């Protein structure tokens, strides 16, 4: 039976089995499939080969777009400015790429006059939520399809369907883990990792050295920021992509950047996650430190609260939301003064900032010093303490009779000899 013609659909195509099977499957539903392969810095096979594969599977067109610079400029840098770490730990590498992917899917669908977009997520993860919420936020008139969630195939049925449609099935054994990677890091899930008591096996890692086997020398890197964004490493101007790549390699080789956590998923359960994010963690740490000398105390405090909000919205698929826009505007306005250079040392799994300087620094050595050159007004402390402590002193004066000093209790049973 030939399904009624429904129009074009843009499929986010990775070249893997699921999205390859999705091509004939969507055709069976009446769609003409346009494959869209997006490069966000993942360790992908040859992208031209992926394109050929899409066409061989029956796509009417196949596009490959390099989104690396766009991904950094529009998603990674705002996230770095926000020091975004979900639950204080996860730099959101996977979560950040989903709004980028959704944006490219909708853009391609609009250019192609497609009525729908489709992705290869299953019905259990949060990537489906992020992609669909973001697609709808950008163009609610374009339908979002999720073939892998809808088709109800078992693994065997999927293989049979693939063979019947001349789609090559993978001959290598399926990895025991599920991976997702891009410029901002690598996520590793499933298999033995599902028991939080199991130490992640060595073969789970790919970007970072085991700290035990890492180089025996310390590696020092100087990162220069302009308006909250890194622009040079060791005094050398580099493109955004090169900076992230350089730090991924340098810090990763030193065994820095591993994360092992149980995180709270948007879809209601806890999940054990392993990440490798050497470049992301190094840049966030360096950027955070630079902010300590360039931002005012009250700005830092309020920004910290909004950073939590930013990370949650990113994790939960609310990238294209009115609140995100407002939070981003606040964060961007704080970054005008985040200029300067941070020195960071990597050694056997550690990455420690040990120096920073900035022309916009509000750190004043003449105020902080305990040596000569001190300009702090010591005499002014007398009046300051008088007024700062006045409410507490007033309270005690009104409640004089109560025994508030716990020393007697703390020292009960001790004799004079113990003093």
Neighbours of 382 (CB within 10 A): 8
371: annotated active-site residue: no
Count interface residues toward ligand ARG (CB under 6 A).
10
178: annotated active-site residue: yes
Contacts with 339 (C-beta within 8 Å, 6 or more apart), sequence order: 225, 226, 227, 294, 358, 359, 360
Nearest distance, CB of residue 126 and ligand ARG, angstroms = 5
Interaction between residue 273 and ligand ARG (CB under 6 A):
yes
* Interface stretch with ligand ARG, choices 7-15, 76-84, 122-130, 380-388 (CB under 6 A): 122-130
Which C-beta is closer to ligand ARG: that of 99 or that of 125?
125
Contact with ligand ARG (CB under 6 A) among 33, 36, 95, 145: 95
Could you give the C-alpha distances from 415 to 175, 418, 419, in angstroms and in order?
A: 68, 6, 8
Nearest distance, CB of residue 178 and ligand ARG, angstroms = 4
Which C-beta is closer to ligand ARG: that of 15 or that of 230?
15
Which C-beta is closer to ligand ARG: that of 95 or that of 283?
95
* Interface stretch with ligand ARG, choices 20-28, 125-133, 295-303, 327-335 (CB under 6 A): 125-133
C-alpha to C-alpha distance for 369 and 115, rounded to whole angstroms: 66
User: What is the pattern of x (binds ligand ARG, CB under 6 A) and - over residues 147-186?
Assistant: -------------------------------x-x------
Q: How many CA atoms lie less than 13 Å away from 162 in the CB half-sphere? A: 20
> Which of 259-264's residues contact partners 24+ apart within 8 Å by CB, and which partners?
259/89, 259/90, 260/200, 261/87, 261/89, 261/90, 262/196, 263/86, 263/87, 263/89, 263/90, 264/87
- SS3 of residue 125 by DSSP: coil
Please, what sign has the CA dihedral across residues 118, 120, 124, 127? negative
Burial state string for 150-183 with b = 16 or more CB within 10 A and e = fewer than 16: ebebeeeebbebbeebebeeeeeeeeebeebbbb
Interaction between residue 187 and ligand ARG (CB under 6 A):
yes
Which C-beta is closer to ligand ARG: that of 129 or that of 219?
129
Please, what sign has the CA dihedral across residues 295, 68, 102, 91? negative
Strand-pairing partners, residue 8, are 32
Catalytic residue among 14, 79, 98, 258: 98
374: annotated active-site residue: no
| Site residues (CB under 6 A) for ligand ARG, limited to 189-208 | 189
Nearest distance, CB of residue 236 and ligand ARG, angstroms = 33
Catalytic residue among 32, 127, 180, 181: 127
Contact with ligand ARG (CB under 6 A) among 20, 37, 83, 94: 94
98: annotated active-site residue: yes
Q: List residues binding ligand ARG (CB under 6 A).
A: 94-95, 125-127, 178, 180, 187, 189, 273
User: Annotated catalytic sites, by residue?
Assistant: 18, 98, 127, 178
């Amino acid at each position: 039976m030939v399904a009624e013609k429904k129009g074009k659909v843009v499929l986010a195509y990775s070249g893997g089995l699921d999205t390859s099977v999705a091509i004939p499957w969507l055709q069976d539903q009446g769609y003409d499939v346009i494959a869209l392969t997006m490069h966000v810095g993942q360790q992908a096979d040859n992208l031209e080969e992926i394109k050929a594969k899409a066409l061989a599977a029956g796509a009417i067109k196949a596009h490959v777009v390099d989104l690396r610079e766009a991904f950094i400029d529009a998603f990674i840098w705002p996230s770095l400015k926000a020091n975004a770490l979900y639950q204080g730990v996860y730099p959101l590498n996977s979560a950040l790429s989903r709004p980028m992917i959704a944006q490219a899917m909708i853009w391609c669908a609009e250019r192609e006059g497609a009525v729908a977009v489709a992705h290869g997520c299953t019905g259990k993860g949060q990537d489906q939520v992020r992609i669909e919420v973001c697609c709808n936020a950008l163009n609610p008139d374009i339908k979002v399809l999720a073939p892998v969630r809808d088709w109800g195939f078992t693994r065997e049925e999927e293989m049979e369907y693939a063979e019947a449609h001349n789609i090559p099935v993978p001959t290598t054994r399926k990895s025991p883990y599920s991976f997702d990677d891009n410029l901002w890091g690598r996520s590793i899930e499933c298999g033995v990792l599902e028991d939080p008591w199991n130490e992640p096996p060595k073969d789970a890692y790919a970007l970072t050295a085991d700290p035990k086997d890492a180089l025996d020398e310390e590696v020092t890197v100087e990162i220069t920021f302009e308006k909250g964004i890194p622009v040079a490493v060791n005094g050398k101007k580099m493109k955004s992509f090169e900076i992230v790549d350089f730090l991924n390699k340098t810090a990763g080789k030193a065994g820095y950047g591993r994360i092992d956590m149980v995180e709270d998923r948007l879809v209601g359960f806890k999940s054990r996650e392993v990440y490798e994010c050497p470049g992301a963690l190094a840049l966030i740490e360096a950027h955070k430190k630079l902010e300590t000398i360039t931002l005012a105390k009250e700005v830092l405090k309020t920004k910290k609260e909004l950073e939590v909000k930013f990370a949650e919205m990113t994790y939960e698929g609310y990238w294209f939301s009115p609140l995100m826009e407002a939070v981003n505007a606040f964060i961007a306005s704080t970054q005008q003064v985040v200029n300067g250079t941070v020195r960071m040392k990597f050694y056997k799994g550690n990455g420690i900032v040990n120096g920073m300087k900035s022309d916009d620094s509000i750190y004043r050595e003449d105020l902080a010093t305990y040596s000569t050159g001190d300009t702090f007004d010591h005499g002014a402390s007398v009046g300051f303490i008088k007024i700062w402590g006045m409410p507490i002193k007033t309270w005690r004066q009104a409640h004089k009779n109560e025994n508030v000093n716990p020393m007697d209790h703390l020292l009960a049973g001790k004799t004079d000899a113990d003093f």
